[in-house]
Each structure stands twice: as C-alpha cells, then as structure tokens.
Amino acid sequence: MNLRKISLFAATIFASFLISTKVSHAFEGSFELKNQVGTNDRCVAYVAGLENSNYKILFSCRDLNYPGGETLSYYIAWANPQAGGNPIRLGDLNLGSAEFQTNKALSSIFVTREADRGTRNPSTNVVMKGNFEKSDFLASSQSPEVPTKPAQSPSSTPQSEAKVTQNPITNILKTASVFAIIGLVALIGLVFFLARPRA
C-alpha cells in the first residue's frame, strides 16, 4: 500500500513538472508598445519563460520624457492577464530600462504617466500600449541545411579517369627520350667498333 502511494505521489510530481514546463514556454514573445499621445516615447518588452513557471519581462525604451521644474511624473508599466481580470502592476520603467517577473501570461501591456510612483491603480493617462506577439522560432526544431552536390550524369567522365588521361606532349617527350637513349647506345657502340685495334 505504501509503495502504491509513493508511486502515485511521484507520478503526480512528474506530471506537474511537465505541465509547468509547457506553460512556462507557451508564453514567450514580445510586446511593441506604440505611442498613443503623439510623442516619441516608445518601448519594446521581451518575455521569456523561466524554470519555476514564472516569466521574465525585459523592457527597453526610447525617448522617455521627464520634464524638469514641473511636477515629477513616472512611467509605470501595467499588464492585462490573458485569463482576464484587473490589470496588474509591473513597475516603474525608470530611465527606459527595466526588468520584471510575473507568474501570469499576459495579453497586452500599457504604460501610464503617474504623479505617484507607488500608485497601485493605473490612471487614464495611457502613453503607450501594445499586444502580445508570440514567437514560434524556438517552438519548432530547425534542421540544419546541408548543401547538396549536383548529381553526375552517367555520360559524364569520372574525375579519376580524367587524371589517368595523359597529355600528348608528355607522350612525345617520353618517345623522344627513348630514341635518344637508343641513339646514344648506338653511338657508343660505333665508337668502340672504330677505335678497336686492327690486325
């Protein structure tokens, strides 16, 4: 009985691990936060799944405007969960670079300008917003591209045969060398014949 309970417990842990791994990678992609008020403020947010079923969100922004001499304002990022419900606060974008974590998959992100840095509810002063765009690049396995060699036709001459074929000039030189050696041997024989002492 105890062995059965242990096996059931191990199977439950393993199944929950598989489910959590699947969920953490199901929500990976980016948000392009486009300006809504006619200024140059803009951001992009990248989402990556973590092993503990949380998601890391990395913000990179450009041209955030912090006016001097006026009431301080802060860029606060908010997110709408895919499951619905009230927006959740991500946090302050600081000077345009920020990193957050959440355990919820998000459908959209928007940024408001707030006078209170610690506000828990978004105002209607929405500066940027963007919807989630899923990245399928990591979801599918990519097979490496192997360059293919052009097939040789049966009538084409193999390269090994081309190497065996000799140059006609080489044949002429070899033949001339043979004749030169024969001529030299004949000349030496003739010299010995003429130089021999006569009786």
- For residue 191, pLDDT over 70 is answered with yes
- Give 86 or 162, the one with higher predicted confidence: 86
Q: Tell me, what's the pLDDT at 4? A: 55
Q: Tell me, what's the pLDDT at 171? A: 72
Q: Tell me, what's the pLDDT at 147? A: 67
Q: Tell me, what's the pLDDT at 5? A: 53
C-alpha 71: how far from its chain's center? 44
Structure-block tokens of residue 71: 């009431």
Q: Tell me, what's the pLDDT at 154? A: 55
Q: How large a percentage of the chain has pLDDT more than 70?
A: 66
Query: Which of 58, 61, 57 is closest to 74 using CA atoms?
Result: 61
Name the pLDDT band for 79 (thresholds 50, 70, 90): very high
Name the pLDDT band for 80 (thresholds 50, 70, 90): very high
Q: Tell me, what's the pLDDT at 84? A: 93
- For 10, 46, 58, 71, 173, the CA distances from 32, given in Å and listed in that order, are 42, 9, 12, 28, 77
Rounded to an integer, the average pLDDT of 102-114 is 94
pLDDT, one tens digit per residue, over 6-56 is 555 445 554 454 444 444 556 789 999 999 999 999 999 999 988 778 899
Q: Report the mean per-residue pLDDT for the chain.
A: 78
Name the pLDDT band for 185 (thresholds 50, 70, 90): confident
Rounded to an integer, the average pLDDT of 124-153 is 76
Alpha-carbon Rg for the chain in angstroms = 42
- Give 136 or 162, the one with higher predicted confidence: 136
Rounded to an integer, the average pLDDT of 58-71 is 82
Angle, CA 126 vertex, CA 122 and CA 129 arms, to 5° = 105
CB atoms within 10 A of CB 144: 4
The DSSP result for 98-159, as a single string, is EEEEESS-EEEEEEEEES-TT-SS--S-EEEEEEEEE--TTTS--PPPPPPPPPPPTTSPPH
Q: Tell me, what's the pLDDT at 24? A: 53
